[in-house]
Amino acid sequence: MSYRKTAASMVLACAGFVAACPPIMQASAAQEYAKHFAALSQLSVAVAEAMPPDQFGFRPHAESMDFGQLMSHIATTNYQFCAGLKDSNTPNLPSPTAKEGIVKFLSDSFDYCSGVISALSEEQLERTHNSPDGNLAGREVLLAMYIHVAHHRGQAEIYLRDKGIRPPSYRI
């Protein structure tokens, strides 16, 4: 068989194989965001866990939030963004002051949001929702929340470095 006939046979065989395969399911925008949000969550909680309990009151500057307040701020705002995506009120939130309670509050906020995000429809992503940053389309709420967490987690990593603690490695 000539090279040309062999190549043509291979192309036809491959085309037949592809045509027989079921279509590849494409992830929804909410599923794609949920995947990245899971990584954001894990890293943020790891940063909170890296600070020793006796340093949760540390603040690098008199006008800065202390470390515990910073972690609680992330958690509170997560709940606010995600309640907005559900078009509901923010649930009653705790006010922990010790490391164990603050880390749980932070972790629970990410769990709450993960449930909300994974259930978002395309219509909810397009519709306007109330958020800490004002009335935004669902997609914009997700982006604003991601930026908010990354911004404050970055601050928290500086707090760790000020204490001589190497922050957990970035991962996506």
Does the pLDDT at position 25 exceed 70?
no
Question: How far is residue 55's CA from residue 145's CA, in Å, rounded to a whole number?
Answer: 26
pLDDT score, position 26: 56
- Calculate mean pLDDT across residues 90-112: 98
pTM for the full predicted model: 0.83
The tokens for 32 are 């794609």
Going from N- to C-terminal start, the domains of the chain cover 27-162
The pLDDT tens digits of the residues spanning 67-83 come to 999 999 999 999 999 99
Does the pLDDT at position 8 exceed 50?
no
The pLDDT tens digits of the residues spanning 46-63 come to 999 999 999 999 999 999
Best CA proximity match to 76, nearest among 51, 97, 104, 105: 105
Phi, psi of 129 (to 5 degrees): -130, 155
pLDDT tier at 6 (50, 70, 90 boundaries)? very low
- Helical segments of 21-66, H only: 29-50
pLDDT score, position 13: 47
Domain 27-162 has CATH 3.30.70.260: no
pLDDT score, position 30: 77
Angle ∠(123,124,126) on CA atoms, nearest 5? 65
Mean pLDDT score across all residues of the chain: 88
